[in-house]
Amino acid sequence: MVILYDRFNLPEDIFEVVFATKQQVIVARALIDFMKSNKSEINKTQMSFFATSLHDGELETTIDEAPYHGKTVKLTYNKRQFYDRILTPLKTMGMVDYDLYKKTYKLSDKFNKDMTKIGLLWIQELRKPAR
């Protein structure tokens, strides 16, 4: 996954850095909140329930964005697109981990560790002599 950002206009919200559309930001935030409310770990059945309730338009969440600020709304998002555009990027960037043995999804700090490693790679490149 490629993250392009403008360091002079960096959003305050990590979801706005990672995802391209407001709808993706809202759905990703709802997923992370759902996982946090379940001790940061959910099983495949719970993930499927989340995706299905989202697909059916039954998932309710509170939105902090204008004009819905503080209101509870029902979200709808295609189940296949949820897995492709929300969950897969979260997994590949290390924000969410999938345990093959326990068959659970868990919030992870690997994203932070990877960003630190990338920063160190840049420092190493700066210190190298010109070719």
Report d(CA 27, CA 36) in Å as an integer. Answer: 14
Query: What predicted TM-score, i.e. pTM, was given to this entire model?
Result: 0.91
Q: What is the pLDDT of residues 37-53, one digit of tens each?
A: 999 999 999 999 999 99
Q: What is the pLDDT of residues 95-104, one digit of tens each?
A: 999 999 999 9
Other Cβ atoms less than 10 A from the Cβ of 54: the count is 24
Report d(CA 120, CA 114) in Å as an integer. Answer: 10
